[in-house]
Structure 1
Amino acid sequence: MTNEYKIPDLGGAADVEVIEVSVSVGDMVEAEQTLLVLETDKASMEIPAETSGTVEALSIQVGDKVNEGDVFITIASSAGSQSEAVSTEPVASELVEAEAVKTETTHTKSREQAIAVPDLGGSEGVEVIELAVAVGDVIDAEQTILVLESDKATMEIPAGEAGTVVSLAVSVGDKVSQGDAMLTLMADSSVSVSDSKVVDKPPVDNSAVQTTKTLTTTTATAEPVAANNAEPESHSSGEIHAGPAVRKLAREFGVDLSQVSATGRRGRITKDDVQLFVKQRLNSSATAVGSGMSGAGIPAVPEVDFAKFGPVTSEPLNNIKRATAKAMTTAWLNVPQVTQFDQADITDLETYRKQQNQLYQHQGIRFSIVPFVLKAIAKVMREFPQFGASLSADGESLIIKDYVHIGVAVDTPKGLLVPVIRDVDRLSVTEITQQLNEKAQSAREGKLTLSDMQGGCFSLSSLGGIGGTAFTPIVNPPEVAILGLSKSETKPVWNGQEFVPRLMLPLSLSYDHRVIDGAEAARFSQRLVACLQDLRNVLM
């Protein structure tokens, strides 16, 4: 029996990258064995087999982007193979039908043409960054079918022939070289008699003829964009000529292509044209700022060749760290942030925590300071609901949430992940501890789902186990506040008559100043200090 496996529910994520394929065609797999590993911006997910059997086909490869419901593997179970082997002699009607299908297929294949990668100017292993067509598309000879990007230039590869796309031999992220198959094309039915003769040749000859024709047709148009030295062409007529990759780049930068001067062939706008336009705008804005004029340009960090100072190595960031960097940059540029510093006397709380560890030791439960802080935060958030709110997209209203979900930052080998503990105000400290331990373990093993990291309305970042006296955590929109914990320290505290040793916990409360003002932040912080210094305040 043959089973097709589909990508399961990904918690709402789309276009999730395949970072590892753990099996190959012909492999024997067992139920629960990992078939592939996916990685989103926030987590990695292992997709297991549901039954045991033999891998018959793989529909994906490393670098592909998949969505829920996509077929990714075909597995023949042992039981299915045996049942199919019982009767192998087809009836007469099946033979007739099979022969008819075979005849039709042979006729169809005789019209199919393989389109190969043309001359790339000596480049090898050039990355495919965009596919501009899909199976079933009807295309013309000059239409771009894919975009390649080398270290120095971007190249748009045209079809070279008109027809219908039958299959694609490459996907985004693949590396290709001259002569590699790109796609299979069904020649246009409106070909001439002489063309039909070429099409009806045996497959081997047809492939050779088509490859030669493709190379001849596309060599001129597949030259690097950077080599174009034509004079810029204006778009006063309103007609814009640009490929899919260029239009996508323009959308990402927010560039109006009608304002970009074209240097490409036949008046086409290239990626270099778009990038030059953006650089000119940034430079003009930076100049305006430097001269005291109004402007919002951010000067680029100058590129440095560090190798000239000594040996260096380059290590690419994984998806999680790249996503974190992007999110933090967005937060820092868009949210006016202020940090309120405070200290809580947790001497009595620490004594109580140690007592509870002894009482729950037989249950395998060990309390850290974090669950107590989470419980106190939940209490104070109910009193100050704006700290769990979010600013609307238009910035005109505040969205108040009638729930207390708190994200807790967890340090993992791949980077920082923030699982969310839901309804913290309704949980006991013991329940918070259990959920926190479970989600922290899942985070370190790469088993967190997207739903585990969504819905938070406040965040907690604790560096107390590492050290430090204070820090300024960055608010992560759409949240408006985050609390940082540093390492507690015994300090002399004046009680009105003398200095006594007390265990003090440093608190760093960062907040969005558009939603929360300084007085509110100070009141929130002081109320939190009161709850941590005397847990009886949490019960009231």
Structure 2
Amino acid sequence: MDIKAPDLGVDSAEVSEIMVEVGDVIAKDDNIVLLESDKASVEVPSSAAGKVTKISVAIGDQVSEGMVLIELESADDSEESNDDNVAAEEQEANSTDDIKPESKPEPAATESKQSESTAKPATNAGKATTHALPDLGVDEAQVSEIMVSVGDTVSAEQSILLIESDKASVEVPAPVAGKIEKILVEAGDMVTNGQDFIVIMASGTDDASDSESETPKPQESAPAKTEDKPAAKTTGEPKQVAKPTNTDTAASKTEGKLTEAQVNEKLVDVYAGPAVRKLARQLGVDITQVNGSALNDRILKEDLFAHVKNSLTKQKAAPVSGNPVSSGLPKLPDMSNAEIWGETETQDLSRLQKVSIPQLNYNTLLPQVTQFDLSDITETEKLRGELKGGMKAEGVGFTILAFVVKATAYALTQHPRFNSHLSDDNTQVILRKSVNMGIAVATDDGLIVPVIKNVQDKGLKQIAIEIGELAVKARDKKLSTKDLQGASFTISSQGNLGGTAFTPLVNWPQVGILGVSEASMQPRWDAKTQNFEPRLMLPLSLSYDHRVINGADAAVFTRYIATLLADPRRILI
């Protein structure tokens, strides 16, 4: 029976590790090979149970969907073969008793060999699986709440962890249904993308696990074979780095990151796959200081995450004198004297507000300027009124914000410098080719910014639908990490809250943010009629990073958005 490569999600991937050997008896869904591409590292499970008779690939091979990985002998065929082998061995033993009694095989060796062949399927069946965190959309986030306990039975997609970053509070769902075997993080821990966080026994495998624990393992019969097995073969427990890592040169902060050239220079003698090397470049980790936990000291993604986590733990554990203030401001004066300060009351910030403070402090490092303008949206509001009824009948809330998002997205395609990021070394501007628009939404816990992807390709109706969906998910705390990551520009609308203008803060690493205030009727001079006319005017406030955007360009960009909002037909030209 041929076991073939499934759909890998890419054209091809490299065989990084082979987790079985010829002669192994494996169960269905046991991992057989580890494949790595420039996007991910994937363990490929067996689609059937049986005995491995041939391995058709080698480490370093490029495989694609449908290629044969291994060949299996089915369980039924294996049993018949075993019966024939046993009969043949008995006949051979009987014949040798008559000729050479001293050559009879020792009973201990036979028993150990048989126990090994019978114990192996139990060992591979019913293993608990370690699961990693999804992409959080940020470098790190804090575990705010653990919603389950060891021993709990959970269903797939059930919320098990609450993680908060400077952008949002996100509930992490259970990747599979099953029983919680171990929780690898604690409340208050700082976690990163891809970090192992929980061990779950998938539903229906408890009995197999019990039988595994009761089955004696022949430790003395074949020690050499056990040692040759890759570390990934036994994934029942979370992977641990075999040796203590040297974190003196690890870089978890932006200022400590190595450049890509520096990292590449250190990769020559390192045993790691392409996906791990790329991740090392993204994290800025000196990969030569990371100890691999897989076969032949190969470095896994888990080893990188463990290295960074260890570094962060040491930094947090370092003694700190006094009461540091991350904003650089001096300490508050003593306010205990009521005669001077009056009565005071202390209230805790929400978790979302607490984790937002470091991100907001970045604004003190930006030379931010705000440009103000007004847009005459009288005709646009008439158009919205004509379309609103039909949209409402379809269950779509059609507000002026949909026009603002569409006009701004179009303006960003015409002025791409506003849709960019400044490089770490301040020598380049990274231009985004797609417009991912962050929409600031006020919730009971604070401000949150979900993202609408590829706005430049969407119409007004689709934009209105997604604005409504994201707003509801934000207020119900149902936003996923994908809903919060990747913004290239942000719009903050105060709707009908009042006010004529405000200064929104640029959300680093973006270089611009557009504030929208409440529209109001104002008298405007009409040169044609030589009279003042009432017009609906929408205040716009564009804040920008002056290192990337100069004042003249900001004025042109803001006026361009105002012009598009006054006559949306210009977008169609």
TM-score, scaled relative to structure 1: 0.58
Secondary structure of the corresponding residue to residue 360 of structure 1: helix
Q: Deviations over 1:436-484 (max 9, x none)?
A: 2222233223333444333323211100232211101112232222111
Q: Which residue in the other structure is 1:9 paired with?
A: 134
Q: Is the 8 A contact 1:10 1:449 kept in 2?
A: no
Q: How does 1:22-37 map to 2 (within 5 A)?
A: 22-37=147-162
Q: Is the 8 A contact 1:249 1:271 kept in 2?
A: no
2:353 to 321, 330, 345: 321
> CA offset at residue 416 of structure 1?
1.6
Per the TM alignment, residue 525 of structure 1 is displaced from its structure 2 partner at its CA by: 1.9
Distance of 2:172 and 2:511 partners within structure 1: 35
Alignment of 1:280-429 (within 5 A): 300-305=330-335, 308=338, 309-318=342-351, 320-331=352-363, 333-429=364-460
d(CA) in 2 for partners of 1:245, 1:30: 32
Taking a change above 3 Å as real, the CA distance of residues 409 and 90 of structure 1, as seen in their structure-2 partners, is closer
Aligned pairs (5 A) from 1:95-114: none
Counterpart for residue 481 of structure 1? 512
Is 1:512 aligned with 2:555? no
Amino acid at match of 1:516: I
The answer to whether the 8 Å contact 2:396/2:468 transfers is no
Deviation at 1:407, TM superposition (A): 1.5
Question: What amino acid is aligned across from residue 534 of structure 1 in structure 2?
Answer: D
C-alpha distance 392-444 of structure 1, shift in aligned 2 (>3 A): same
| Aligned 8 A contact 1:57 1:75 in 2 | no
Aligned 1:81-100 pairs, distance under 5 A: 81=206, 94=216
Structure 1 position 44 matched with structure 2 position 44 = no
Say if 2:543 is the partner of 1:537: no
Alpha-carbon displacement from aligned partner over 1:25-55 (angstroms, at most 9, x marks no partner): 4444444433332233323333334555554
Alignment of 1:58-207 (within 5 A): 58-67=183-192, 68-75=194-201, 77=203, 79-81=204-206, 94=216
Please state whether the residue corresponding to 2:163 is helix, strand or coil: strand
Q: CA RMSD in A?
A: 3.8
The offset of 1:374, in angstroms, is: 1.2
Deviation at 1:397, TM superposition (A): 3.2
CA distance in 2, matches of 1:394, 1:14: 19
Provide the C-alpha distance between the structure 2 equivalents of 1:245 and 1:398, rounded to a whole number of angstroms: 30
1 CA distance for matches of 2:495 and 2:213? 72
Consecutive unaligned residues of structure 2, counting only runs of 5 or more, are 1-125, 221-239, 246-310
- Judge conservation of contact 1:469–1:487 (CA < 8 Å) in 2: yes
Secondary structure of the 1:511 match is: strand
Counterpart residue identity of residue 44, structure 1:
S
2:524/2:535 contact within 8 Å kept:
yes
Q: Distance in 2 between matches of 1:384 and 1:89?
A: 64
Per-residue deviation, 1:352: 0.8
Instruction: Provide the C-alpha distance between the structure 1 equivalents of 2:536 and 2:426, rounded to a whole number of angstroms.
Output: 41
Q: Secondary structure of the equivalent of 2:470? A: helix
Report whether the alignment pairs 1:524 with 2:557. yes
One-letter amino acid of the counterpart of residue 553, structure 2:
E
Quick check: 1:493 aligned with 2:524? Answer: yes
* CA 1:246–1:71: 2 relative to 1, 3 Å: closer
Normalising by structure 2, report the TM-score.
0.55
Deviations 1:348-405 (CA, angstroms, capped at 9, x unpaired):
1111112111122332112111110111112222222222233232323333333322
Using the alignment, how far apart are the partners of 2:394 and 2:388 within structure 1?
Answer: 10
What amino acid is aligned across from residue 333 of structure 2 in structure 1?
A: E
Distance change >3 Å, CA 312–CA 76, structure 1 → 2: same
Aligned length, in residue pairs:
359
Q: Does the 8 Å CA contact 2:164/2:355 hold for their aligned counterparts?
A: no
Report runs of 4+ in structure 1 exceeding 6 Å deviation: 87-91, 95-98, 133-136, 244-247
Residues 90 and 23 from structure 1, CA distance in 2 versus in 1: closer, same or farther, beyond 3 angstroms? closer
Partner of 1:18: 143
**Partner secondary structure for residue 349 of structure 1:** helix
- Give the 3 Å change call, closer, same or farther, for CA 57–396 of structure 1 in structure 2: closer
CA distance in 1, matches of 2:476, 2:567: 36
**Which residue of the partner structure matches residue 186 of structure 1?**
none
User: Which segments of 5 or more consecutive residues in structure 1 lack a partner in the other structure?
Assistant: 99-132, 139-243, 252-269, 283-296
